[in-house]
Amino acid sequence: MNLDFDICYQAMLSRDRRFDGWFLTGVTSTGIYCRPICRVRKPRRENCRFFADSAAAEQAGFRPCLRCRPERAPGLAMTDMSARLAQSAAALIESGFLDDASIAELARRIGVSDRHLRRIFEAHFGVSIGRFVQTRRLLLAKRLLTETRLPMTELSLAAGFGSQRRFNALFRHSYGLTPSALRRTGSSDAGAPLCIELAYRPPLCWSALLSFLAPRAIEGVEWIEGEHYARTVAIERRGQWHHGWVRVSHVPERHALSVTLPASLHPVIAGVLSRVRRLFDLDCSPEIIDDHLGALAAARPGVRVPGAFDGFEMAVRAIAGQQIRVTQARRILSRLVEQFGEPVAGAPAGLRVAFPEASRIAGLDPEALIGLGLLRQRAEAIIALSREIVAQRLSLAPLMAPDDVLPALRAIRGIGEWTVQYIAMRSLAWPDAFPHGDAVLKKRLGLTSAKALEQYAERWSPWRAYAAIRLWEDAPRSGPVSLAEEVTSP
């Protein structure tokens, strides 16, 4: 990513939260790097260097600021960077993929050679994959040190280090102090739930997210009450499944979401936090998107596209919901999880079972799903999708390239174009996905054909998914949108 020095310097002076996560400032006089919103005295122009990523700043010899804490900055969405493959790899790394896999396996997951992945990754981020991984692990460890009482042994493993000794050595070498020196007070507690905050760029319309998720919540898997969202979790690491739950609340005064998770999920905390970020679209830049959507976004700024906690789960939900009401799909999915899901012990009220994994569904006969209320073609499509996932011929990880995934989805009998676009929107976090055959969208815009809707929606590209989610959410409250209305910026 190319950074303009003058623009970055002025943004740093302004402390504008819209730039948080877009770049970092390295101060040569102190050897520290900061977020643009840092409240410390601003450095002289000649003492500044700007970096697109923490790994690049640390490779240049800078240490993270202990006040603004760069590890808490929001990330960037897919269209913020041109190299989709590098961004896909980074998303998988953030989720902990390399904790129990090799770079060669990472390359195979995103469909390129090991050598090509290393080349594009370094060209895009300015650092090697190894350095990027090390920085991400150190920053996660730093968060856990300052925000939790997790014992050091568990903390080092949760952050992705193979041993506490290696963690201690790397931490001291990189930051000039020991982990115990950073955690000055308090005793460790291995069994207590952890509570960590995830930052976002304001504004964020939390009520819109919950309004979208609530009617689609699967009984036993998700629970939404008041301003809180909770769900069950099942994540695999090193051949072992970790089950638990997560609870998410909005902390608007700090522009963050508060995430609580139990001790059973401590070993996979990186994956949990990454999934929460995707589910609530925390890495988007709302002011840029809202400005592009114009009047369509004016009434409620900061609306996000709800993502997927798990790409496979979301795809199954999309197939099950084809051409039926949301309430019908919800009942079918509730039966599915009750019969084939894994019980979650110790979960809060309203949560009791994790969504079944692809390997569980792949071995079923279609009759098992038809008995739940699914039509035969949809039951067969869900099983076919599961088998493609298990065979690793298809990946629905966030930020996977749509050009690779969408044709594979279309090849599965029973998956139509609406479903393909919906999966791209939510599972892949593809911001330009748009279900141009959607009846509600056509009605809202007063159009009669899918082709007319597709042509009209071009004005919203590359943010058509955000336009779709707004039109869907406003449908119960609003009439048709006037085609004479100016809905995009000049």
Cite the active site residues.
34, 438
Residue 486 three-state SS? coil
For residue 369, give every residue at least 6 positions away whose Cβ sits within 8 Å of its Cβ, in sequence order, or none. Answer: 336, 378, 379, 382, 383
Q: Which of 379, 334, 380, 377 is nearest to 353 (CA)?
A: 334
Residue 32, beta-bridge partner list: 27, 63
- The rounded Cα 371 to chain-centroid distance in angstroms is 34
Quick one: 46 exposed, middle or buried, by C-beta within 10 A (0-12, 13-18, 19+)? exposed
CA 278 to CA 431: how far, in whole Å?
12
Whether the CB-CB separation of 93 and 132 falls below 8 Å is answered with: yes
Residue 217 CB coordination number (10 Å)? 19
Give the residue from 200, 213, 216, 187 showing the smallest Cα distance to 253. 200
The angle formed by the CA atoms of residues 86, 15 and 296, to the nearest 5 degrees, is 70
Q: Who's near 266: CB < 8 A, 6+ residues apart?
A: 150, 154, 158, 194
Which residues, 6 or more positions from 463, have their beta carbon under 8 angstroms from its beta carbon? 79, 289, 292, 293, 431, 432
A 10 A CB-CB count for 31 gives 12
User: What is the layout of strands, in order, in the sheet containing 256-261?
Assistant: 194-199, 256-261, 240-251, 228-237, 222-225
Rounded to an integer, what distance in angstroms lies between the CA atom of residue 232 and that of residue 246? Answer: 6
Phi, psi (rounded to 5 degrees) for 231: -160, 165
Beta bridge partners of 241: 236
Structure tokens at 125: 């981020």
**CA–CA dist 244, 301 (Å, integer):** 34
* CB-based contacts of 360, cutoff 8 Å, min separation 6: 340
